């Protein structure tokens, strides 16, 4: 997780930038908006409109660019998902049984009433993450899970409808506040909470397969007459129940800072991650394989975002992500412990809750009012500010850190230098653009005023570190090993970042806490991530955000599509009439608005509370000795109609 350091102050409209001087006059806006909506409708309802523009380098789109196909596919996925929404309790219970293969948990009717009261859109798929996270626990003994939770160092307990904690750690306090908002609907339980940024549990794939096999045996619906519809009580806090528990040794926490060998044990034995040789030397330019042929890509762009966050088929990421190289802290276990946390990698078995800063809605993570700047008054440009996190960067490993790679790839000087002489001056930590993308030339061309990629980048993107997080100098801004490659600049408050149309979002030490703020804004988040969060199943890539490969090789192509299309000579800065707006800009606006609109419907605090209530009812059932006969069957008994 990365903490954006907010300097407060400036309103977005007042963000000083010599680079992006063009602003649109206000007077035409209404007429233009009307024209645009007609044009947008026309362009986006599928017709391959031959919109004739000065053919820009990114390839005139006219609906033929690979991104156009991905955007159309996303529309279909989203429409299909929305069409699954249920409007009544019996229909919701039926959708549950169909998707989960079990009866809903006791209290499901109260959960449903709560969801309705909070005006939540009910699509069963939105809660998929809960079932992914909890399924293995159906293969573990309830008494053991309860014991593991009770004995964990950081806990929230619920007894008689009251949640409490003995910890004053600020995250625990925020989570406590979240749980208290639903405590009146909760049965007794103990929750183990992860106080660290980094997730804790990676059960080896082979053991996980065994848990899931056991779990599958419990996946059935008890006869309605036998169903028990209440939860067991737990003894008072601090009192150890008499339980027959298997004697297993206390959990051994692994502290090995090289996290790749730990993370990959959750991958299938025949996967590239498990098969690949482990890299231990990070003191060189990492090898960056082309991502064109990877399973999550299509025609050079991310086509399956969920799969793109799974690293089991991407063994090269072991040298391209700080978390695999050297996280700040590691305390991992192979035991299936019921630990709740805010984010995790694809192989972690932690249980996801909405992250504390999302529940807290701090302005530095939301951007406050800046989030509603109209698209038409934004700069056609990219801004990114952040700290050089990702893990503990050192002189001998920083080339393998993702944020360092992204910042370098946006540095025109570095790109020019590498392009002019790739053999003597190779890029320090990235790969030059693949020839498979139709990009402008890397070096200036004689007798041609076509922009070259570096000069175009320097006019379009403003990407820099605010702190190099130097291992030798603590928080001092300059650094004796990354200093020659990066300079630091002032942070830009999130509200002012919203003056730019495109906002890359790159993982830090763990997930990036600004993502929700970006989604809620009228700018477009361009998201590259390995981290998974509670809300993933409700967001559709290319509909609500632009997904990016974790190598970032598609970044320049994404820029070209969205920013390289229209206007005079296809570069930013040119004044263009609205009628000359290219498809990329229209699609960009549409993604920005769809993301904002959707976030206002399914990523509200109310949605977090409803998610947490569903999660905790399931958790209470799976940790109850009678779990296999527990459920809510009111609809099958004739109630709830
Ligand atoms: C994305 O990949 C996952 C994992 O391989 C797969 O289950 C899913 O069906 C894929 N989704 C699409 C839309 O292809
Ligand atoms: C940077 O400074 C540290 C501490 O003074 C020193 O040990 C290290 O060798 C220096 N590294 C480089 C690359 O100069
Ligand atoms: C861009 O790269 C040059 C050369 O490596 C470096 O001096 C400069 O500080 C970099 N700029 C940023 C914003 O990091």
Ligand 2 midpoint to CA 318 (Å): 25
Residue 526 lies in a domain: yes
**What per-residue confidence (pLDDT) applies to 473?**
60
Residue 424 lies in a domain: yes
Phi then psi for 489, rounded to 5 degrees?
A: -130, 175
299: left (phi over 0), alpha (psi -120 to 50) or beta: left
- Nearest-5° Cα angle at 589, 587 to 590: 60
SS3 content of the chain, % helix, strand, coil (to 5): 40, 10, 50
**What per-residue confidence (pLDDT) applies to 582?**
81
Half-sphere exposure in the Cβ direction for 586 (13 Å, CA): 26
How far apart are alpha carbons 548 and 380 in whole angstroms?
A: 19
Residue 283 lies in a domain: no
Q: Does residue 611 share a domain with residue 589?
A: no
In the DSSP assignment, the letter for residue 105 is P
Provide the sign of the torsion angle of the four alpha carbons 20, 22, 27, 29, taken in this order: negative
Length of the chain, in residues: 641
The residue that leads in pLDDT, 533 or 242, is: 533
Nearest C-alpha neighbor of 402 from the set 299, 288, 290: 288
Q: Does residue 498 share a domain with residue 421?
A: yes
User: 45 to each of 34, 48, 287, 307, 522, how far by Cα in Å?
Assistant: 17, 9, 42, 28, 22
- Mean pLDDT for 585-602 is 97
**What per-residue confidence (pLDDT) applies to 291?**
87
Which residues of 64-200 form beta strands (DSSP E)? 155-159, 162-164, 189-193
**What per-residue confidence (pLDDT) applies to 422?**
85
How far apart are alpha carbons 74 and 60 in whole angstroms?
A: 21
For the Cβ of 304 lying below 6 angstroms from any atom of ligand 1, the answer is: yes
Cβ-count burial 265-292 (b if 16+ within 10 Å, e if not): bbbeeebbbeeeeebeebeeebebbebb
Q: Does residue 623 share a domain with residue 570?
A: no
Q: Does residue 4 have a pLDDT over 80?
A: no
3 state SS of 472: coil
Contacts of 404 (CB under 8 A, 6+ apart): 388, 390, 393, 398, 429, 482, 485, 486
How far apart are alpha carbons 347 and 221 in whole angstroms?
A: 29
Residue 138 lies in a domain: yes
- Mean pLDDT for 118-132 is 98
**What per-residue confidence (pLDDT) applies to 483?**
93
How far apart are alpha carbons 572 and 555 in whole angstroms?
A: 17
Contacts of 93 (CB under 8 A, 6+ apart): 104, 108, 632, 634, 635, 640
The residue that leads in pLDDT, 137 or 577, is: 137
Half-sphere exposure in the Cβ direction for 271 (13 Å, CA): 20
Residue 208 lies in a domain: yes
Q: Does residue 215 share a domain with residue 67?
A: no
Nearest C-alpha neighbor of 141 from the set 274, 32, 248: 248
User: Quick one: tokens of 49?
Assistant: 């409109």
Q: Does residue 401 share a domain with residue 424?
A: yes
For the Cβ of 450 lying below 6 angstroms from any atom of ligand 1, the answer is: no
Q: Which residue is closest in CA terms to ligand 2's atom 5?
A: 472
Q: Does residue 254 share a domain with residue 398?
A: no
Burial class from Cβ neighbours inside 10 Å (0-12, 13-18, 19+) for residue 455 reads middle
**What per-residue confidence (pLDDT) applies to 251?**
82
Q: Provide the domain limits for residue 56.
A: 2-73+361-442+451-602
Max avg pLDDT among 20-29, 109-118, 487-496, 572-581: 109-118
Q: Does residue 53 have a pLDDT over 90?
A: no
For the Cβ of 458 lying below 6 angstroms from any atom of ligand 1, the answer is: no
376: left (phi over 0), alpha (psi -120 to 50) or beta: alpha
Q: Looking at the CA of 295, which ligand is closest? A: 1
Supply the angle between the helices 555-563 and 583-602 in degrees, to the nearest 10. Answer: 110
Q: Does residue 16 share a domain with residue 127?
A: no
CB 518 within 8 A of CB 505: yes
Q: Which atom of ligand 3 is nearest to the CA of 489?
A: 13
**What per-residue confidence (pLDDT) applies to 639?**
59
- Express each pLDDT in 455-469 by its tens digit: 999 999 999 999 999
Q: Does residue 505 share a domain with residue 471?
A: yes
- Mean pLDDT for 607-618 is 98
Q: Does residue 472 have a pLDDT over 90?
A: no
- Express each pLDDT in 308-336 by its tens digit: 999 999 999 999 999 999 999 999 999 99
Ligand 3 midpoint to CA 482 (Å): 10
The residue that leads in pLDDT, 523 or 37, is: 523
Q: Does residue 417 have a pLDDT over 70?
A: yes
Ligand 1 midpoint to CA 309 (Å): 12
- Mean pLDDT for 67-86 is 97
Best residue among 480, 482, 483, 485 to mutate for probing ligand 2, ranked by most atoms within 8 Å of CB: 480
**What per-residue confidence (pLDDT) applies to 47?**
33
CB 545 within 8 A of CB 309: no
Q: Does residue 611 share a domain with residue 590?
A: no
- Express each pLDDT in 171-210 by its tens digit: 999 999 999 999 999 999 999 999 998 999 999 999 999 9
**What per-residue confidence (pLDDT) applies to 31?**
44
Burial class from Cβ neighbours inside 10 Å (0-12, 13-18, 19+) for residue 586 reads buried
For the Cβ of 455 lying below 6 angstroms from any atom of ligand 1, the answer is: no
Ligand 1 midpoint to CA 557 (Å): 23
Q: Does residue 460 share a domain with residue 516?
A: yes
User: Quick one: tokens of 120?
Assistant: 């939540």
Q: Does residue 45 have a pLDDT over 90?
A: no
How far apart are alpha carbons 338 and 505 in whole angstroms?
A: 29
Of 136-150, 178-192, 299-313, 366-380, the range with the lowest mean pLDDT is: 366-380
For the Cβ of 593 lying below 6 angstroms from any atom of ligand 1, the answer is: no
Residue 266 lies in a domain: no
- Mean pLDDT for 340-344 is 98
- Express each pLDDT in 225-261 by its tens digit: 999 999 999 999 988 777 655 566 778 899 999 999 9
For the Cβ of 395 lying below 6 angstroms from any atom of ligand 2, the answer is: yes
Ligand 3 midpoint to CA 467 (Å): 13
Residue 288 lies in a domain: no
How far apart are alpha carbons 612 and 499 in whole angstroms?
A: 34
Q: Which residues line ligand 3 (CB under 6 A)?
A: 407, 411, 413-414, 464, 485-487
- Mean pLDDT for 1-25 is 34
Q: Does residue 6 have a pLDDT over 90?
A: no
Helix (H) or strand (E) holding 525: strand 524-528
How far apart are alpha carbons 340 and 542 in whole angstroms?
A: 29
Q: Does residue 610 share a domain with residue 598?
A: no
Q: Does residue 637 have a pLDDT over 70?
A: yes
For the Cβ of 472 lying below 6 angstroms from any atom of ligand 2, the answer is: yes
Q: Which residue is closest in CA terms to ligand 3's atom 10?
A: 486
**Mean pLDDT value across the chain:** 87
CB 507 within 8 A of CB 530: yes
Q: Does residue 395 have a pLDDT over 50?
A: yes
- Nearest-5° Cα angle at 471, 470 to 477: 20
CA 194 to chain centre: 19
For the Cβ of 17 lying below 6 angstroms from any atom of ligand 1, the answer is: no
pLDDT band at 371 (very low <50, low <70, confident <90, very high): confident
Domain count, the chain: 2
Residue 351 lies in a domain: no
User: Quick one: tokens of 100?
Assistant: 């989960």
DSSP conformation letters of 5-47: -------GGG---SS------STTHHHHHHHHHHHHHHHHSS-
- Mean pLDDT for 511-533 is 96
Ligand 1 midpoint to CA 457 (Å): 33
pLDDT band at 450 (very low <50, low <70, confident <90, very high): confident
**What per-residue confidence (pLDDT) applies to 448?**
66
- Mean pLDDT for 411-429 is 93
Q: Does residue 464 share a domain with residue 378?
A: yes
Residue carrying the six token digits 């482990």: 278
- Mean pLDDT for 560-583 is 58
Ligand 3 midpoint to CA 58 (Å): 26
């Amino acid at each position: 997780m990365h903490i954006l350091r907010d300097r407060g102050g400036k309103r977005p409209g007042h963000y000083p930038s010599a680079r992006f001087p063009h602003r649109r006059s206000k007077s035409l806006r209404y007429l233009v908006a009307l024209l645009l909506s007609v044009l947008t409708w026309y362009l986006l309802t599928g017709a391959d409109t031959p919109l004739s523009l000065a053919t820009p380098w990114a390839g005139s789109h006219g609906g033929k660019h690979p991104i156009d196909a991905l955007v159309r596919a996303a529309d279909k996925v989203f429409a299909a998902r929305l069409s699954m929404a249920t409007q009544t309790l019996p229909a919701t219970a039926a959708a549950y049984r169909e998707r989960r293969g079990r009866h809903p948990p006791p209290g499901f009717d109260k959960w449903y009433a709560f969801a309705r009261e909070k005006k939540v859109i009910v699509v069963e798929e939105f809660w998929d993450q809960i079932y992914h996270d909890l399924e293995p626990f159906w293969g573990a003994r309830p008494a053991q899970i309860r014991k593991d939770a009770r004995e964990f160092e950081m806990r929230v307990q619920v007894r008689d409808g009251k949640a409490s904690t003995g910890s004053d750690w600020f995250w625990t306090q925020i989570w406590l506040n979240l749980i208290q908002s639903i405590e009146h609907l909760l049965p007794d339980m103990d929750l183990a909470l992860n106080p660290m940024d980094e997730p804790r549990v990676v059960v080896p794939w082979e053991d996980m397969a065994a848990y899931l096999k056991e779990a599958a045996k419990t996946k059935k619906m008890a006869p309605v007459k036998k169903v028990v519809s209440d939860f067991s009580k737990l003894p008072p806090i601090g009192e150890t129940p008499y339980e027959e528990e298997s004697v297993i040794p206390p959990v051994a926490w692994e502290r090995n800072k090289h996290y790749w060998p730990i993370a990959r044990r959750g991958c299938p034995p025949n996967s590239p991650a498990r098969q690949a040789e482990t890299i231990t030397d990070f003191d060189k330019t990492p090898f960056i394989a082309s991502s064109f042929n990877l399973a999550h890509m299509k025609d050079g762009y991310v086509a399956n975002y969920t799969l793109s966050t799974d690293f089991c088929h991407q063994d090269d990421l072991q040298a391209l992500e700080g978390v695999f190289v050297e996280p700040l802290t590691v305390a991992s276990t192979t035991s299936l412990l019921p630990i709740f946390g805010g984010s995790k990698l694809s192989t972690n078995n932690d249980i996801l809750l909405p992250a504390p800063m999302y529940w807290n809605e701090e302005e530095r993570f939301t951007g406050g009012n800046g989030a509603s700047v109209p698209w038409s008054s934004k700069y056609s440009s990219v801004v990114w500010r952040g700290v050089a996190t990702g893990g503990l960067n050192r002189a001998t490993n920083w080339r393998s850190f993702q944020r360092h790679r992204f910042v370098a790839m946006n540095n025109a000087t570095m790109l020019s230098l590498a392009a002019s002489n790739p053999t003597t001056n190779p890029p320090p930590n990235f790969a030059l653009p693949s020839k498979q993308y139709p990009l402008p030339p890397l070096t200036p061309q004689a007798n041609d005023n076509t922009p070259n990629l570096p000069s175009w980048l320097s006019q379009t993107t403003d990407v820099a570190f605010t702190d190099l997080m130097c291992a030798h100098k603590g928080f001092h801004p300059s650094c004796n090993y990354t200093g020659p490659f990066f300079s630091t600049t002032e942070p830009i408050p999130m509200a002012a970042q919203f003056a730019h149309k495109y906002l890359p979002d790159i993982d830090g030490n763990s997930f990036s806490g600004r993502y929700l703020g970006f989604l809620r804004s009228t700018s477009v988040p361009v998201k590259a991530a390995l981290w998974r969060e509670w809300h993933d199943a409700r967001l559709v890539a290319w509909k609500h955000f632009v997904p990016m490969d974790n190598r970032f090789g598609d970044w320049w192509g994404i820029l070209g599509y969205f920013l390289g299309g229209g206007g005079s000579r296809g570069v930013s800065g040119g004044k263009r009439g609205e009628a000359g707006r290219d498809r990329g800009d229209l699609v960009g606006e549409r993604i920005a608005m769809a993301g904002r609109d959707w976030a206002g419907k399914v990523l509200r605090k109310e949605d977090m509370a409803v998610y947490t209530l569903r999660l905790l009812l399931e958790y209470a059932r799976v940790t109850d000795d009678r779990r296999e006969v527990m459920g809510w069957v009111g609809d099958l008994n004739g109630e709830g109609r």
